[in-house]
Amino acid sequence: MTEEQKRLLRDALWKIANDLRGKMDADEFRDYILGFIFFRYLSERMQMYANEILAADGITYGDISEGTDGGEEYLDAIRAEAVEELGFFLRPSELFEAVAAKGAQKGNNFILDDLSRILTNIQKSTMGTESEEDFDHLFEDMDLGSTKLGRTVADRNDLVAKVMGRLSDKNRVDFQLNNAESDVLGDAYEYLIAQFASGAGKKAGEFYTPQQVSTILARIVTNGKTRLESVYDPTCGSGSLLLRVAREVDIRNIAKGFFGQELNRTTYNLARMNMILHGVHYRQFDLKQEDTLVRPQHEGRQFEAVVANPPFSADWSADPGFTTDDRFSTFGRLPPASKADYAFVLHMLHHLADNGTMAVILPHGALFRGGSEGAIRKILIAERNWLDTVIGLPANIFYGTAIPTCIMVFKKCRENPEDILFIDASGPGNFEKAKNQNILRDGDVERIITTYRDRTAIDRYSHVATMAEIEENDWNLNIPRYVDTFEEEAQIDLTTVLAELKTINEGMADVDQQIAYFCKELGIEAPL
């Protein structure tokens, strides 16, 4: 798989999305285009798997005659194996290319009803099986009756037929699923999610963490490891952070799989599609749709890698009943109702294994705010000694917010229990200023990771603070208290400046004389 192949597929899919969404908002059309791509992926996987089974009989999946005794016997046998291995089943007439071909016909090309039935049948094929939860209502955001797709039924059918027709062109849109080492489709899918996020404004923060930031978290929690027992994200969005961890150690080296929770139903659907499309087997991920703080879904589990980009300073109930919750009870106080940052931190720490690493993105205020947050922060540092590293990120690198943020890294068994590393990656030269959003470059990411790994003190960039220093600062973690980024301005030679002013004034005298001369010729009063 070459970078050129990746680029070609990304560009082709993004062009289709832009050409066909019309006046629909980008974040609305996202659910349709990504859903259609996912449907084609499932169809190709089904066809490839069935062809492998049928190879011994010298036929292909398309050769089966549906509705005949022999054909249905074949389909029953294939269904049983496909649901076990793939997690779902599609008949030959339900495959993407069959529906797209009908939509391309002149005259009788109405496919909306067929498509709705097929998407429902995918879900029905999983009922009563291990994969039922992973496919439950997976396509519910693809409302084919929505007027967003067109004012009339005919308009909607035309648009859907065009989308499927463009996506079925395998010369331009090659998923390369027959290449076991290729993740060209997964790469393109992530690219599309990022592109939609960039155009979705504030809503984007609900489902996507910029790739470079995801990479930092993933490399931190996998540092020094080639395999993991498990990885967990309690606010998993589209699943991009979980999948970024997989890129660092390979999906096959995450023994017990991926775990996550997401409140937003549409985003939860996107995360499940993202997992399956990246080749994560349905038995290897366990994603739940619920409020993580109110109704946690993975009680009793601990994870070797924990990553998250929770909603910044979100409201939560802070109900007194939580004081007996195992996640919060030993800290004596609950995080404030107006800021759930430490509620997420304590939830994540509750699920962090003793040999694990946790990296969480938080607003800068979490480093220094007082009240119950200050009390919790002191316990985490002074009593538990779980905080390992604080990394300051540039402002305006997240979709939908310009506030400065940080990464806090926690370990329950720290290699360096006598100090805490501070990295300030927010200063000039540590990122690229873009028109609408600042960007961390590959070199900026590498510098952060190298500094974290080597735990080095670098002038105006990083500092290894002793526990005594932090106690002296009353457990305030505000990065400028530890990393001095002040650059002394060059001294000004007043004698030189006065000489320059004198020269300028002498020159102005000549100019004043010329202005007075011209004013006299024009018969007007010269300015003072």
CA 244 – CA 484 distance, rounded (Å): 32
Please report, for residues 30, 511, 513, 516, 520, the alpha-carbon distance to residue 507 in angstroms, rounded to integers and kept in the order given. Answer: 64, 7, 10, 15, 21
* Secondary-structure percent of the chain, ordered helix, strand, coil, rounded to 5: 50, 10, 40
| Amino acid in position 381 | I
Q: What was the pLDDT predicted at 180?
A: 62
CA 333 – CA 377 distance, rounded (Å): 11
* pTM check: above 0.85: yes
Please report, for residues 6, 208, 230, 263, 399, the alpha-carbon distance to residue 199 in angstroms, rounded to integers and kept in the order given. Answer: 22, 12, 33, 22, 9
CA 442 – CA 390 distance, rounded (Å): 20
3-class SS of residue 275: helix
Q: How far is CA 333 from the centre of its chain?
A: 31
CA 174 – CA 274 distance, rounded (Å): 18
Q: Which two tokens stand for residue 304?
A: 């070797």
CA 34 – CA 132 distance, rounded (Å): 21
Strands (E), 364-426: 387-392, 405-410, 419-424
In 26-147, alpha helices (H): 26-54, 69-85, 96-103, 112-124, 132-135
3-class SS of residue 254: strand
Closest C-alpha to 379, from 331, 413, 329:
331
Closest C-alpha to 299, from 337, 230, 347:
347
| Burial label, 197 (beta-carbon count in 10 A; 0-12, 13-18, 19+) | buried
DSSP tally for the chain: helices H, then strands E: 16, 9
Question: Do residues 306 and 354 make contact, with C-beta atoms less than 8 angstroms apart?
Answer: no
Tokens 């997690």 locate to: 87
Q: What was the pLDDT predicted at 204?
A: 47
Q: What was the pLDDT predicted at 68?
A: 95
CATH of region 3-175: 1.20.1260.30
Strands, sheet with 462-466, edge to edge from the N-terminal-most edge strand? 285-289, 258-262, 231-233, 303-308, 352-363, 405-410, 387-392, 419-424, 462-466
How many CB atoms are located within 10 Å of the residue 460 CB? 13
Question: Do residues 89 and 79 make contact, with C-beta atoms less than 8 angstroms apart?
Answer: yes
Q: Domain locations in the chain?
A: 3-175, 201-481, 493-528
Domain 201-481 CATH assignment equals 3.40.50.150: yes
CA 293 – CA 346 distance, rounded (Å): 10
CA 392 – CA 444 distance, rounded (Å): 12
Q: Which two tokens stand for residue 526?
A: 């010269």
Rg (CA), the chain: 29
Supply the angle between the helices 265-277 and 240-249 in degrees, to the nearest 10.
Answer: 20
How many CB atoms are located within 10 Å of the residue 510 CB? 9
Closest C-alpha to 138, from 258, 273, 333, 292:
273
CA 177 – CA 115 distance, rounded (Å): 23
Per-residue pLDDT of the chain (528 residues; tens, 9 = 90+): 567 878 888 888 888 888 877 777 777 788 899 999 999 999 999 999 999 999 999 999 999 999 999 999 999 999 999 999 999 999 999 999 999 999 999 888 999 999 999 999 999 999 999 999 999 999 999 999 999 889 999 999 999 999 999 999 888 888 888 776 667 788 888 888 888 877 665 544 556 788 899 999 999 999 999 999 999 999 999 999 999 999 999 888 898 999 999 999 999 999 999 999 998 999 999 999 999 999 999 999 999 999 999 999 999 999 999 999 999 999 999 999 999 999 999 999 999 999 999 999 999 999 999 999 999 999 999 999 999 999 999 988 887 778 889 999 999 999 999 999 999 999 888 999 877 788 999 999 999 999 999 999 999 999 999 999 999 999 999 999 999 875 555 677 778 777 777 777 777 777 777 777 777 777 787 776
CA 88 – CA 95 distance, rounded (Å): 12
For 449, what's the count of Cα atoms within 13 Å in the CB-facing half-sphere? 20
Q: Which two tokens stand for residue 236?
A: 């998993």
Question: Do residues 407 and 391 make contact, with C-beta atoms less than 8 angstroms apart?
Answer: yes
Closest C-alpha to 227, from 200, 254, 209:
254
Q: Residues with Cβ < 8 Å from 336, sequence gap 6 or more?
A: 318, 371, 372, 373
